[in-house]
Structure 1
């Protein structure tokens, strides 16, 4: 079951004191801080995730009979000339120099459909955009992995209290699972039909949620300590800065090894906009705490 959107989410960064020595890095850093003040964060392609299992479900090939049955039913809905990757495949093929008879035969080549759908689907999914957050600002491993061994900082974004429902439409919680999600050829055909023929073919809510979880929101339980949330954008968008409103920047926390020069630079760009905090090691336990 989907969790309620958290009041605060945190995004670790990897800038350190050494980045202030190169003009190009300084300008990129300054640009990011400027965007953060506006409530915008960088979204990258899903295919760039560091875990090769992430957004990569197991694949089960459907039978040719199942593929044929789906495609025939699909064309009854979307039109006899439609394919899962083109609203009117015959016209497109003819415009590219193919004979109409060749194009029509291709539409009924279910072996070719089965071979190509996985490649097309994975390319489409890999072009989706994602930005990752955590709800735990004190996790030692997160600071070690994503904030340069505690030498960098993280952003704190807070949700406006009267925008709880809107917040849940902006971010989604990652599902940590012990068994790798599994999709079939038919699942992929359903998604591609939905993407390319939204007026004609609509996935059931159950299928939509299951496929989204498998391709965008499921991770191995090895990562459960990260308590991750994700904001997602469609493949039609390009990597870049996008708003996560109604979340807005309210704080910056520096790691226990952050150098004074880094702290001063961040403060000079965000002063007056956010609250600044510093982490230190607990004197008696393996914990981080605010100083």
Structure 2
């Protein structure tokens, strides 16, 4: 399992009916990237169009020199290039249409956001409504979705805005080029230590990514809401703990 030291991932939640519904239904909400609070997040830029050189490079990377290309590959390349070595109009239209469909698929995908940390004062303030909400702990093992790096992986924080390299997409035809673009954020967010899980459909409920092992109450979780969450956790056999201030320092104490 990649990142074996990361054995739990966390979701900060405000004290509302949507949070309660997670424990009622044991499902999560997978948001579309466009719903994120950062307008730069997942806003993909395409660096130019696929060129004829990109196609030839992809074929060479996979099959070697042209003399070694399988007959079907040679026929395909010859069919999409004219006598001047340029794309036929039909091929140019097809490529542009396929790229647009790929980008649309990513924009309409579902994203579940988690964090490596459960004691971030900022995230308790921002995402758990000024420490009045909860933080849900999910188990990460080699045998569940969170332990599969192709399903759940950490966000890359960067000061450089990412672009889609369409030529690279031809060489790596597994969708990873686009997926990586959805895992880039400005480095000012690095304190979140975010992980993302992708689903095919956004703005839709999704099965739990793994077993819930603990629910943490915030410093200010109201008693009535705490009682509602506690009843659901008791019914599900989920342990609950209370966050506390650490004396004389800006830290939270979260029971293990």
What TM-score range do you get, normalising by the shorter chain? 0.7 to 0.9
- Relative to its length, the structure with more helix (as a share) is 1
Question: How has the CA–CA distance of structure 1 residues 230 and 67 changed in structure 2, closer, same or farther, with 3 Å as cutoff?
Answer: same
Provide the residue aligned with 1:167 in structure 2: 147
What does the per-residue CA deviation read over 1:80-120, in whole Å, with 9 as the maximum and x for residues that have no partner?
A: 69xxxxxxxxxxxxxxxxxxxxxxx8625x3x567766644
1:231 and 2:214 correspond: no
* CA distance in structure 1 between the partners assigned to 2:145 and 2:99 by the alignment: 35
Aligned partner of 2:121 in structure 1 is 140
Aligned residues between the structures: 233
For the 8 Å contact 1:5–1:167, the answer to whether it is kept is no
Partner secondary structure for residue 164 of structure 2: strand
SS in 2 for 1:182: coil
Give the corresponding residue for 1:220: 186
Q: 2:172 aligns with which of 187, 201, 204?
A: 204
Report the equivalent of 1:261: 224
- SS of equivalent to 1:60: coil
Q: Is residue 250 from structure 1 mapped to residue 216 from structure 2 by the alignment? A: no
- For residues 241 and 34 of structure 2, what CA distance do their matches in structure 1 show? 33
Q: Which one of 107, 113, 122 corresponds to residue 90 of structure 2? A: 107
Q: Which runs of 5+ in 2 are unaligned?
A: 60-71, 81-87
1:237-285 deviation line (CA, Å, top 9, x unaligned): 77212231xx201111011011100100111122151111111222201
Distance 1:45 1:209 in 2: 18
Deviations along 1:180-238, one digit per CA (max 9) or x if unpaired, are: 122244456x4xxxxxxxxxxxx537x7444321x221111111100111111225x77
Question: Normalized against structure 1, the TM-score is what?
Answer: 0.66
- In structure 2, the residue corresponding to 1:172 is in which secondary structure? strand
Distance 1:29 1:226, change over 3 A: closer
CA distance in 1, matches of 2:179, 2:226: 39
Q: What residue in structure 2 maps to residue 43 of structure 1?
A: 30
2:206: which partner in 1? 241
1:278 and 1:30 map into 2 onto residues whose CA distance is 17
Task: Name the CA distance, whole Å, in 2 between partners of 1:289 and 1:233.
Answer: 33
Runs ≥4 residues deviating over 6 A: 67-70, 72-75, 78-81
Alpha-carbon distance in 2 for matches of 1:74, 1:258:
63
How is 1:184-195 mapped onto 2 (pairs within 5 angstroms)?
184-186=165-167, 190=170
